[in-house]
Amino acid sequence: MKILITRKKIMKFLSDMEIEERVINKIRERRDAGLKKYGIGMERDDLSILEWITHAQEEALDFSIYLEKLKQMFGSITGSTVGLYQKHKEKTIMKTIEEINRELLTSIEDEYSDMVRRLKKDPSLIEKSDYISDIHHMKDGLVGEVGELVDCLKKHLVYGKDLDYKNLVEELGDIEFYLEGIRQIFALDRKAILSLNIKKLTQRFHTGTYSDQQAQERADKCCGKCHN
């Protein structure tokens, strides 16, 4: 039977020999230290069996103390390592979550942008005329002036400033301008509009005064079935 000797086996054998040699050298070092300290080695005969046992016990106790110290050190190192690992793990998880959220948000934003592009009306299909331009002018102007009126009131109500009556009247006047412009476009009479509004609100608030119930019932929208 042939025995196959590989390089790996040879290296392991030499490594084992090296470990054993280091242990032997340490035993020799301990012997030399004992000879230097006590002037004699294990051949001494001035100790009884009980004294030898006591020495061995003391060495064993020291060995146990050293092992306990090493356990504490190892536990501290392990705890620190586990803590670092845990932090790294949590950081990695958070990074992964952030990346997923970023990808989801990007995907949602892209999807929404694409939807808007598909659903909004092609500008080229929107009628362009003086009539259309006039309506855009009036309704955009109205929205802008209402915003300025709200800003005027905000400064008074939120910032606590004195009400700027001059500005208030100016913004109300501008709103009237654009409302009149819209009425003219559609050939509507302001008096007729006011009359219809009076009729609607009289029907809605049929008692002649405001109440939450009447405001919610909106009798003018239910064909007179909400009250007698």
Q: What is the pLDDT of residues 56-104, one digit of tens each?
A: 888 888 888 888 887 777 766 555 665 666 676 677 777 777 777 777 7
Residue 102 lies in a domain: yes
Asked if 203 contacts 220 with a C-beta cutoff of 8 angstroms, the reply is yes
| 75-89, 99-113, 205-219: least confidently modelled range | 75-89
| 117-121, 195-199, 205-209: least confidently modelled range | 117-121
173: its two tokens? 């006047």
| 7-11, 39-43, 74-78, 195-199: least confidently modelled range | 7-11
Residue 149 lies in a domain: yes
Can you tell me which residue has the tokens 């939120």? 158
pLDDT at 40: 75
pLDDT at 9: 59
Q: Please state whether the predicted TM-score (pTM) of the whole model is above 0.85.
A: no
Question: Which of 55, 86, 114 delimits the end of a domain?
Answer: 114
| 85 and 20, same domain (yes or no) | no
190: its two tokens? 């302001």
> Does the pLDDT at position 178 exceed 90?
yes
Cα distances from 124 to residues 113, 120, 128, in angstroms, run 20, 12, 9
| 33 and 81, same domain (yes or no) | no
Residue 65 lies in a domain: no
| 161 and 88, same domain (yes or no) | no
Cα distances from 49 to residues 37, 53, 101, 143, in angstroms, run 21, 6, 76, 110
Cα distances from 201 to residues 19, 179, 187, 191, 195, in angstroms, run 104, 20, 23, 15, 10
| 149 and 177, same domain (yes or no) | yes
| 18 and 82, same domain (yes or no) | no
| 136 and 203, same domain (yes or no) | yes
Asked if 165 contacts 156 with a C-beta cutoff of 8 angstroms, the reply is no
CATH of the domain at 173: 1.10.287
| 206 and 152, same domain (yes or no) | yes
Q: What is the pLDDT of residues 140-161, one digit of tens each?
A: 999 999 999 999 999 999 999 9
Which H helix or E strand runs over 199? Answer: helix 190-204
| 110 and 135, same domain (yes or no) | no
Instruction: Domain count for the chain, please give it.
Output: 3
| 143 and 167, same domain (yes or no) | yes
Residue 4 lies in a domain: yes
Can you tell me which residue has the tokens 């700027």? 164
Residue 154 lies in a domain: yes
Residues contacting 156, CB < 8 A, separation 6+:
162, 163, 164
> Taking Cα atoms as reference points, which of 172, 213, 220 lies closest to residue 196?
220
Residue 99 lies in a domain: yes
Between residues 225 and 109, the one the model is more confident about: 109
Asked if 181 contacts 162 with a C-beta cutoff of 8 angstroms, the reply is no
Residue 206 lies in a domain: yes
| 139 and 80, same domain (yes or no) | no
Residue 53 lies in a domain: no
| 99 and 136, same domain (yes or no) | no
Report percent pLDDT > 90 for the chain: 40
195: its two tokens? 């009359």
| 105 and 175, same domain (yes or no) | no
> Does the pLDDT at position 226 exceed 60?
no
Between residues 225 and 32, the one the model is more confident about: 32
pLDDT at 194: 96
Domain range spanning residue 172? 129-210
Asked if 132 contacts 185 with a C-beta cutoff of 8 angstroms, the reply is no
> Does the pLDDT at position 5 exceed 60?
no
Asked if 106 contacts 149 with a C-beta cutoff of 8 angstroms, the reply is no
> Taking Cα atoms as reference points, which of 71, 51, 49 lies closest to residue 59?
51
